[in-house]
Structure 1
Amino acid sequence: MPGLRMPGLLSPWRGQVGYSCIREIFVDGSGCKKRNAPEPFFVRWPGTRILTRTRARKTRKTRKHEIQNSKLKIQHSMKTSPAAIKNPTWSVGDVHGQYSYRNPHADLYLYLSQWSDMESYLNVGYSRPGQYHLHVNTHLRLINRLADGLLDLHARGPHTGDRRLLDIASGRGGAAIHARRRYGLHVTGVDITPYNAWRATQNARDRQVWPNVRFSMGNSLRLPLPAASFPLVWSIESPAHFPDKPVFLREAARVLKPGGAFTFADLLVVEEVAAASEENRQIYADFLRVWDVPYLESFDSYRRAIAEAGLELRRAEIVTRCNLDILNRDCAIFLWLSKWPWLYRTYARYLKWRTGANLDNVYEHVLASHRALRLGMIDYGLFWAVKPNST
């Protein structure tokens, strides 16, 4: 008869009495102790769950498969989504490649998926001092900050009874789903990447918010929507990838109802730092390359573009210390740990097995980001605006 394993002191199946240590004891079918078994206070007590060796082996194997399958949500999506057919190749600057896992730069998201839900949220988040940053809550804090300001403007406008929100470049739907669950909004998301639109729809169905939250493919610079069709519009961190930000702002103003509210978050370039020297210009170019971003607007250029789009800027903030400064610190820690060759090689093998990511690609991404962030070259801005009422 196969041996039996009794749970230790820290086991979820423990009773009111336990062992003198947190080790485990194996007994054979007759109840005799094995030679190498630790000495317990009690061999068995009523109600204790005992596992056979075979079952214990299966439990360990199941746990191993659970760890391996943690990456299958991504990998299965990669194989079955429309993006697998529509985007078989990638090129630098191609946002489809990065967000469809066809681009080596996407390995950063696989790496971060160990701590956060990168299949739902793609923003860098928002954390005040003392708040843990590498967690899904950091994404929700950024969404809440934008949504609270947006709904405050909405409450002062003429469309208080209309709670429809347009999410421009909606990514994988996490922000739209949260807007529905927390604020009760009816959300329409538009994204140009087939994988994102497909993944967001699956997330909405899985979390039972569909059809109140819907997603479709569309170009953010040529929205397939009529003019003045939404009282609320937002875009969270996606404008960085747009090749023409002023066109995006004009499109947002076009689909926004008069009196409607608009908010967005985006990365910003500090021009005097980025253009200070040839070395800085190269660092800035490397930052854009690893993030597949064509260019970045500055804080002042965005303010001018908002006014030129026919919107009234009501509030703007630079919150770099609440996200990018934290990201820069984490990048520095990552790079310091990477100096140890044995640790780097060991973790590279683990990461490949755990998520399928190539640590060399992650290192390149982190290094380019850290070089730009430590110079104060990149800021992070939040903007809230309204569309004036027609006269």
Structure 2
Amino acid sequence: MPGTPEEQPAPVVRPEVWETYGPADLSAVPVFAGGFINFGYWQAVDLERPLSQGDRIRSEQDLYRHVLDAVAPAGGRAVEIGCGLGRGCALALEEYGPTQMTGVDIHPQQLGRAREANSRLLDARPQRLRFVLGAAESLPLGDAEFDCLYSVEAAQHFPDLPAFAREAARVLRPGGRVAVASFFSVEGVEGVSAPAERLAGMLDSFASGLDIARPVSRLGEALTDAGFADVRTASIGPQVWPGWDRWLARLWEPGTWPRNFHAAWEQRILDYYLVTAVRP
């Protein structure tokens, strides 16, 4: 069992992650409205009409709701890995009723922003919400401390999925649930080869190393090897990519690199997944 957060050494942050979520502050980029940093789950949004900022924020909230529905945090202790500004933690606390909500992020500047953005909640519910500095692969949390663990669009940055899976198993109690939503390369498609190289050629975030191209099976295998049961993987690409591309079209022309997320999905080299499992 690791020591308290104060006893833990500061986590090592990859340079690409440090810049993007620190000085560059991705949460301030207009496409990430409302303080969330995710591509969105657009099932409830009418994509045939012009999109509003309210539509965009709903898509980001609905991605969290889709993940939270899978881990059912009501009445238990929940932890989000890669919490960013903590908007998802606040949504979970307000709508799903965990007894305690912990947000973990590797970037100290993000945690500072999270504490500022959620200052009212922290003041009103100091025993129910906290933010902790830590890496997904070495969590400064106690053994069997949580009933559910989730991560929304952060796993594409985790350098060591097996270490993350082992830590998730350690901090969850028996019967605890884990859910991870993120984008991964697609494997086993006839006529499609070298997806990692192709993604690096299409998308700057993969070329720079910010996003790491791996098949989703790597996460499933890591969870299984860590002792999880009932590991399930579901594509939610149809609910993510078309809406994300429609939103990007407000700011980016076709053929520019951000629009290539949708192109990579259409070419079957990238998809968005929800991976769930149970700790026996």
Q: What TM bracket, shorter-length normalisation?
A: 0.7 to 0.9
Structure with the greater alpha carbon radius of gyration: 1
Structure 1 pair 203–336 and aligned structure 2 pair: CA distance change class (3 A): closer
Q: Counterpart of 1:266 in 2: which secondary structure?
A: strand
Q: In the alignment, is the contact (CA less than 8 A) between 2:220 and 2:231 conserved in 1?
A: no
Partner amino acid, structure 2, of 1:201: R
Aligned residue pair count: 257
Structure 1 pair 110–214 and aligned structure 2 pair: CA distance change class (3 A): same
Q: Counterpart of 2:118 in 1: which secondary structure?
A: helix
The equivalent of 1:225 in structure 2 is 141
Give distance in 2, aligned partners of 1:193 and 1:224.
14
The equivalent of 1:172 in structure 2 is 85
Q: Counterpart of 1:94 in 2: which secondary structure?
A: helix
The answer to whether the aligner puts 1:191 opposite 2:105 as a matched pair is yes
The answer to whether the aligner puts 1:323 opposite 2:240 as a matched pair is yes
Partner amino acid, structure 2, of 1:373: W
Give distance in 1, aligned partners of 2:159 and 2:190.
19
The equivalent of 2:150 in structure 1 is 234
Out of 138, 141, 150, the residue aligned to residue 59 of structure 2 is 138
Partner amino acid, structure 2, of 1:110: V
Out of 293, 296, 301, the residue aligned to residue 211 of structure 2 is 293
Q: Counterpart of 1:135 in 2: which secondary structure?
A: helix
Alignment of 1:21-170 (within 5 A): 94-102=16-24, 106=26, 110-113=29-32, 116-117=33-34, 119=35, 121-128=36-43, 130-131=45-46, 134-151=55-72, 163-170=76-83
Q: Counterpart of 2:46 in 1: which secondary structure?
A: coil
Shift of 1:313: 2.5
Q: In the alignment, is the contact (CA less than 8 A) between 1:127 and 1:322 conserved in 2?
A: yes
Shift of 1:172: 0.9
The equivalent of 1:303 in structure 2 is 220
Q: In the alignment, is the contact (CA less than 8 A) between 1:328 and 1:374 conserved in 2?
A: no
Shift of 1:367: 4.9
Partner amino acid, structure 2, of 1:96: W
Shift of 1:141: 1.0
User: With structure 2 as the length reference, what TM-score do the two structures score?
Assistant: 0.79
Partner amino acid, structure 2, of 1:176: C
Structure 1 pair 366–336 and aligned structure 2 pair: CA distance change class (3 A): same
Give distance in 2, aligned partners of 1:273 and 1:329.
26
Which stretch shifts more, 227-236 or 311-320?
Answer: 311-320
% identical aligned pairs: 27
Q: In the alignment, is the contact (CA less than 8 A) between 1:328 and 1:373 conserved in 2?
A: no
Structure 1 pair 130–307 and aligned structure 2 pair: CA distance change class (3 A): same
Give distance in 1, aligned partners of 2:133 and 2:225.
27
Q: In the alignment, is the contact (CA less than 8 A) between 1:283 and 1:368 conserved in 2?
A: no
Out of 365, 368, 383, the residue aligned to residue 275 of structure 2 is 383
| Long gaps (5+) in structure 1 | 1-85, 156-161, 339-362
Q: In the alignment, is the contact (CA less than 8 A) between 2:152 and 2:181 conserved in 1?
A: yes
Partner amino acid, structure 2, of 1:97: E
The answer to whether the aligner puts 1:247 opposite 2:163 as a matched pair is yes
Shift of 1:135: 1.6
Q: In the alignment, is the contact (CA less than 8 A) between 2:90 and 2:118 conserved in 1?
A: yes
